[in-house]
Copies of this chain bind each other. A is one copy, B any other.
């Protein structure tokens, strides 16, 4: 890796600042975590978006949440074909090895991935339609949800599609046998959330009313 570069100086400075304060103040906890391993209570599947920090929203410290982040917080369907499946691997590890109690899918407003999907469906993002587009193929996961909402024939606003992406991911979670089993055994619960970035809002999917409601 001769292309590797040192850390930019301002990040090195900030790290030293954290080491002298944030780390120093919690050294005992960091050492316990290192020696005794992690025992997170929940797995969160969130977007890579720089504006959504689940640790901030829930005041979570080191050790609480096992967090997978990908474009548009999507979960592909179960497909044990021997290929690389990063999201499925993270879910498998959380449920079968760490035995988390909660599996939370966290969507959000102004999601670039969901927006790109919408543009692609309407022919306004031809580059995403190409077979070689990783983003385009990844967001194809959203298709069943989009069709269910009426597809190209319907007027679908961003928030509706973002929330549908959360539901599609939750449905796909239940195609994994180990998720099914843990849920059936009462050892795992599934939760769908949607965060309004600008307003700091948080809604959860309510199975009874089949709508997202404010937490």
Given the known interface contacts A12-B215, A17-B21, A186-B28, the answer about A66 and B48 at a Cβ–Cβ threshold of 8 Å is yes
Determine whether A120 belongs to the interface, using a CB cutoff of 8 Å to chain B: no
Partner of A26, one of B8, B32, B49, B71: B8
Report the minimal beta-carbon distance from A206 to chain B, rounded to whole angstroms: 7
Interface residues, chain A, CB within 8 Å of chain B?
1-41, 43, 48-53, 55-71, 74, 76, 80-94, 97, 99-102, 104, 109-110, 112-113, 131-135, 137-141, 167, 170-171, 174, 182-183, 185-193, 196-200, 202, 204-207, 215
Residues of chain B within 8 A (CB-CB) of A74 are 86
* The 6 A-B residue pairs with the shortest CB-CB distance in the complex, in nearest-first order: A17-B17, A34-B198, A23-B200, A20-B20, A89-B138, A29-B101
In the bound assembly, the distance between CA atoms of A67 and B51 in angstroms comes to: 10
Q: How far is the CB of A177 from chain B (nearest CB, A)?
A: 9
**In the complex, how many angstroms separate the beta carbon of A15 from the nearest chain B beta carbon?**
5
User: In whole angstroms, what is the CA distance A71 to B90 when docked?
Assistant: 6
Name the residue in A3, A26, A33, A133 with the highest tally of chain B Cβ atoms < 10 Å from its Cβ.
Answer: A3
| B59, A17: Cβ atoms closer than 8 Å | yes
| Distance, CA A39 to CA B40, complexed state (A) | 10
Q: Assuming the A-B contacts A29-B102, A34-B198, A67-B69, are A112 and B137 also in contact, with contact meaning beta carbons closer than 8 angstroms in the complex? A: no
A84 pairs with B138, CB closer than 8 A? yes
With contact pairs A102-B28, A137-B82 given, residues A33 and B21 touching in the complex (Cβ less than 8 Å): no
Q: How far is the CA of A11 from the CA of B57 in the complex (A)?
A: 9
B residues in contact with A6, CB < 8 Å: 25, 191, 204, 206
Q: Is the beta-carbon distance between B58 and A62 smaller than 8 angstroms? A: no
19 additional A-B pairs beyond A7-B193, A9-B22, A34-B51, beta carbons within 8 Å, are: A1-B207, A3-B207, A7-B204, A11-B58, A14-B17, A15-B215, A16-B17, A18-B57, A18-B200, A22-B56, A25-B189, A29-B41, A34-B109, A38-B51, A48-B67, A48-B90, A50-B67, A70-B70, A86-B138
